[in-house]
Structure 1
Amino acid sequence: MNKLKNLRVILASAGSGKTQRLAQLAIESLQKGQGVLAITFTRNAAAELRERILTLLKAGHAPLARKVILGQAPLYTQTIDSLTRELYQRIAPLLGVAVYQDVVVEEEDYLEVAHTLARRLIENLHQSEFRRLLLLRVEKEVEARARRILPEALLRRELLTLTREGPFYLLVRKALAQSLRTGLLDDLDPEWQVALQLDKREALFLPFLSKALETYRQETQRLFLSDISALVRLTARYLGSLLAEHTSFYAHLLVDEAQDTSPQQWEILSPLMEELRSRAGSLVSLIGDPKQSIYAWREADFRKLIEFYEQAEYQETLIQNFRSAPIIVEWNNQLYGDIAQRLRDFLINRKNSKSKSPVSDKASILDAIETLYTPSQVLQQPTREVEGWVEVVTLAYSDDPDVLLRERARKLQEILAGLRAKGVSPEETAFLVRRNDEIPLLMEMLPGYPLQVQDVPLRSCSSLHLTFRYLAGEAGPVEELYAARAGMVEAVKHLKEKLTLALTLLDKWRIFYDVAQQWLRILPQHQPFWALFLSELYGLLSRHTNYGWSEILIWWQEKAQNLSLHLPPTEGVYPILTIHKAKGLAWQAVIIPFAEWGLLQAEWRDTKWRLVPRALMDSVLAEALREIEPLFPQDTPIPLPLKIKSEVKHPFLRKLYEAYAIEQAIENLNLHYVATTRPRQYLYLIAAQPGDKAYKVKGANTWRGFWNEPQLSKVYDGAGK
């Protein structure tokens, strides 16, 4: 195989010093007088990397550090989004495109635009056709979700979808809608019709939304990040040399967390990478860990990093672990070192071979895992000489979820007491959960313990969510039953009437405060959520004293429900995070209180865009998309919005579904890997036996069932259990 010149790919497992290695590479180039561009995925990561580079420079190369600070040595650290904006500003004049300085990037700005446009569209309700179509869309929503929804809320949601997806996807939607309206898709294969969720009501409604967005762009001279990303991608596809000129400022391109890069982002980076690789003395460095790829829902594709690694001129693997105690490193080595073979024995060769799986051929999942979890990329060498402990706790199965909850709570309290006896402080003892809805349950099990939720959206608080469902008039049977059981029906049912009569901002705030106090008597663990909400509500009403119940509801739907409890570590308080938020962090002790998620869970719940080669499309569908073919070269697949059911039979759609199931199986495994590599000294996993109805775990295809296999006993014996 011909190696890709001037390409270095570094595979860096958890705790292996990835940021330090990135900083060293940047310094090596700066010392040669070369410019460096480092791409990360968050502004915090970009700031952290720059700070690490400057710290190392100050320690050993103070004059060079001064040059970097003064801008005399070219060091650029930025996110992929800011790079996209910069490329757009450079190429727009060359392409004869207006250079819009105001670009909608932040989530809050997207919400504001959706609110503005939804209000404008509601003003058009006097148009009989628009009113009829909107009512049909609301009717469909009620049928599908068995709950009421306000027309304006539906409009905001659909406008948000279109603005985030961008113009490429909108053109595909418009082409499908046009073909559906003209009857061209009437003869489409039934399974393709189901997968595309074709609905004439949506097809007739789409032009109104599309026109509203186009008018907004023209009137405000604003673009969305998805707009400029589409233009930059088109340029990369057809006029890559225009983007390549950007590399004149630097000779070394570094891409951090490369496993989280999406195909669209690779498309933007490709011309820059190719230009640098073609120049003598220049270099492209990619660094990441495919085992920590946990953002498949954002279209991240770790396979590209593996592909680059296999083709790179310079290959590097960081195998030392500077984070965890030897016993934790050993436990992870034994568990993940031959995980594919263990799973093969567990799922195929033993009693679970007939268990239900979303993939007809389980071997395909195992082959994918084997590619990812090769021993050479998994096994690490510990470097720290500290004591450690790993304990896997199995809870006996019970039909009564309350019994199981009490037993789990008892074990958690026992673990916390043991850690305090070892001198481990609460702020160094983290609880990691997979889903946000596990957090209130955890707080319920540990009343009286100082717990701090970090980076959890307010909408995950069931009492707040239900309160606003009633205020919106959208409470369904499930919410009504929940409120009745909590004795809160009267408190939330008449909220709208009370707010209508309230005159001052304190009166309005007090109404919500009283509701909060009633909820907290029943669910005291929700206190942090209500405290943040009431604080934000007071600020809102102070700025807008004339706001009534409808404006407060819109504020909740557009902004407040997405606010997160983001609190810095506090002395004497136990942090609670989702595994996604824990990535890149570490604590002295980590507890995974609900470790029984399935090994092979896969359910295609929402619409996902998938690339489909024209040769594999239904011929009717290919004809319907003919008008957008100029945007896609002959050999380029076309993205389609799909929602495929598990029982699909069509060969290509079945292949897509199984590919998605493999993605989910790998993400389930990667989440487990990320969680178990966060602790420095102590790791605890708690799981119920398979069949635990409280968490809807069925059959033996769970981590708990897997742990019960005899071949894993040595892992626990070797780790101190």
Structure 2
Amino acid sequence: MIDDKQQGGAIADLLLHLDNNVGSFQKLVVQMLSKRDQWLTRLYRDGVIDPKVLQDTAKAIVIKSLEELHSLAALYFQADFFALMLSDKDLNFNKITSLPSVDCADLEKWKLIAAFCLTKKDGWRKTLEKTLPTEFFDESLRLRLVQLNTLPDVEFSQEQSTILRAIAKVLKLSVAHLNVYFEQEQAHDFIEVALNASQALDEEQGVSDIALFLDYKIQHLLIDEFQDTSASQFNTIEKLINQWQDGDGKTLFLVGDPMQSIYRFRESQVGLFLQVKEEGIASIQPKSLV
């Protein structure tokens, strides 16, 4: 690919960033291609990955995570907990006397709280177990604290922005090569099948014939473990029921528990579950049974 006149510079830049480690380069490309349903639409719509957009997205992810953690932490982090932090010999812990805000600027404070609560293996510290009541050691709280270390950076340097643009160009070329390979071998992976299915349901003008056919055939749709729905799957579901209307006799039944999605199973996005609960999907407004 490096011989490609238009994209060769981007490949060279990315290789240089990876200390010319071809193995790491190949691993990165393979990993990204295995998740291409998550970024392909944006890449081809925008042409490049806009670092500003990614930075705004990173901030939104951090704030959302901190909001969820704050709601949970408020139930457990009481005066006795902050008294323990204040008495610790580590002066960094002494700086936190109350719950931090959900602002990105307070992310490091939340990480300090996590470091105070958890061991390097992400278990509760024995010193806390000896002091705080049993009710404090909630599993959902522990998992939310563990998740803090997986949150993205919210500020990108100039070097990071340059590399992001190089990655975008490399990915675009990699997808083109992958499509050629699929064509030559007459083979497809699961993602390609899903992308083709979504594309078949979509037309730039009006509704596709396949969408109309499925709209006629499908009367009832039940989706279990809906909290594990990825963005691409959600997009396909939305297209399937796009023509449904209240009172047309069709039913949509969604089963799920947002707390079960904390592991981000198969790139699930629990925010989609909450979005449907609050705003609906397509023209359907499901009724919550709980």
TM over 0.5: no
Pair member with larger Rg: 1
- The alignment's TM-score, normalised by the length of structure 1, stands at 0.21
Which structure has more relative contact order (CA 8 Å, sep 6+)? It is: 1
